[in-house]
Amino acid sequence: MLDKLINVEKRFEEIEALLCSGDVASDIDKYTSLMKELKQLTPVVEKFREHKAARASFEEAREMLESGGLDKDFREMVQEEFESAKQKIDDTANELKILLLPKDSNDDRNVIVEIRGGAGGEESALFAYDLFRMYSMYAETKGFKIEVMNLNETELGGIKEISFMINGDGAYSRFKFESGVHRVQRVPETESGGRIHTSTVTVAVLPEAQAVEFELDPADLVFETYRASGAGGQKVNKTSSAVRVIHVPTGTVVECQVERSQYQNKDRAVELLRSRLYNEECRRQQEAIDGERRSQVGTGDRSERIRTYNYPQGRVTDHRIGLTLYKLDAVLNGDLDEIIDALITADTAKKLENSGNADN
């Protein structure tokens, strides 16, 4: 680990020097790339320098203690410095192990979230709306911006399906664990008998794909136009502005009807299609490389029941890590940090365990 840290610090210093050169300053693409790399290396280098400073303090205190000739009060002070530095060495070493874990290359990306009603009919659609509201409020607390790409509503205010972009630095890192089946247990608004029903909603989280990373062949795309549907009244489009795009090789179908312009809907549909296909390609590559993928917390299996929202008990349970919180109202109002932080911690712990096994 020490050799790796030394190399990281050398690269950090190289980038700092390059950023001060005139050649790089005049090349915006090179400058942007180096700044991004510098940002990624900074936490590691800062922690490594803390670690080296602690080691220096430890060695200095150790030498003074071994030299003898210290009066009682001074010796106690040096002993405290010795113990403090020793603890600092251990703490920074553990933090460095975490910082050196392989990063998810998608973590800094914008994210596309797709929510679809599952089992439960209209009640499922109503809960899909509740989840969209929850994610919207959470995104707002993080300073992210939400942009709806496709929306299919029901007469009662529910959502059959919705796709939306969350724009913000690190958006994917905060939302990637939300993929899967979300289960709700409550008395439906449409149920007069007061019986508790169980419904499900599926959530998919896709990192935004750039055109340069996943190129679509126009020959593989079939476009169809149709009139936008909705809950009725003014929401029903009188012109064929909605767009459906079909990726012929995979059979993937994407629709977009939120914009009034057919051209805008077409652009959004292609953007969503590209991200879906990019995500699927990443998934296939990861499964081919890492047979232990499913031993992780998991970020992409839509068939996996990941969380239950129990209204009668005011309880939220994340089944992947066994976390239960009795703060349902707060969670549905966007207070998701405790759950997401726990998922990140569990995922990091698993990666550390796997890293340790690989080293043995």
Query: What gap in Å lies between CA 264 and CA 255, rounded to an integer?
Result: 12
Q: Which residue has the higher pLDDT, 45 or 192?
A: 45
Mean pLDDT of the chain: 83
**Encoding tokens for residue 11?**
């690269």
- Written as one letter, the residue type at 91 is D
The pLDDT of residue 94: 86
DSSP letters spanning 13-41: HHHHHHHTSHHHHT-HHHHHHHHHHHHHH
Q: Which residue has the higher pLDDT, 108 or 90?
A: 90
The pLDDT of residue 291: 44
Burial label for 266, CB within 10 Å (0-12, 13-18, 19+), is buried
CA distances from 74 to 56, 60, 71, 239, 319 (A): 19, 14, 6, 86, 54
Assign 319 a pLDDT band (cuts: 50, 70, 90): very high
Q: Which residue has the higher pLDDT, 268 or 161?
A: 161
Query: What gap in Å lies between CA 190 and CA 187, rounded to an integer?
Result: 8
Assign 213 a pLDDT band (cuts: 50, 70, 90): low
DSSP letters spanning 112-152: EEEEEE-TTHHHHHHHHHHHHHHHHHHHHHTT-EEEEEEEE
Torsion sign (Cα): 142, 143, 144, 146: positive
Query: What gap in Å lies between CA 198 and CA 11, rounded to an integer?
Result: 54
The pLDDT of residue 24: 79
Sequence spans of domains, the chain: 2-99, 111-349
The pLDDT of residue 330: 96
Residue 297: pLDDT over 80: no
Residue 340: pLDDT over 80: yes
Residue 71: pLDDT over 90: no
Residue 72: pLDDT over 60: yes
Task: Please tell me the least confidently modeled range out of 72-76, 129-133, 307-311.
Answer: 72-76
CA distances from 19 to 23, 35, 43, 92, 335 (A): 9, 8, 18, 28, 40
DSSP letters spanning 250-314: TTEEEEE-SSSSHHHHHHHHHHHHHHHHHHHHHHHHHHHH-TTGGGSS-S--TTSEEEEEETTTT
**Encoding tokens for residue 98?**
């975490």
The pLDDT of residue 289: 41
Question: In CATH, what class is 111-349?
Answer: alpha beta
pTM of the model as a whole: 0.67
The pLDDT of residue 348: 86
- Cβ–Cβ under 8 Å, residues 331 and 316: yes
Q: What is the DSSP letter of 336?
A: -
Query: What does residue 147 show for φ and ψ, rounded to 5 degrees?
Result: -135, 110
Give the mean model confidence (pLDDT) for residues 106-121: 87
Strands 197-207 and 221-226: unpaired
- Cβ–Cβ under 8 Å, residues 269 and 256: yes
Give the mean model confidence (pLDDT) for residues 119-139: 93
Task: Please tell me the least confidently modeled range out of 15-29, 32-46, 125-139, 271-285.
Answer: 271-285
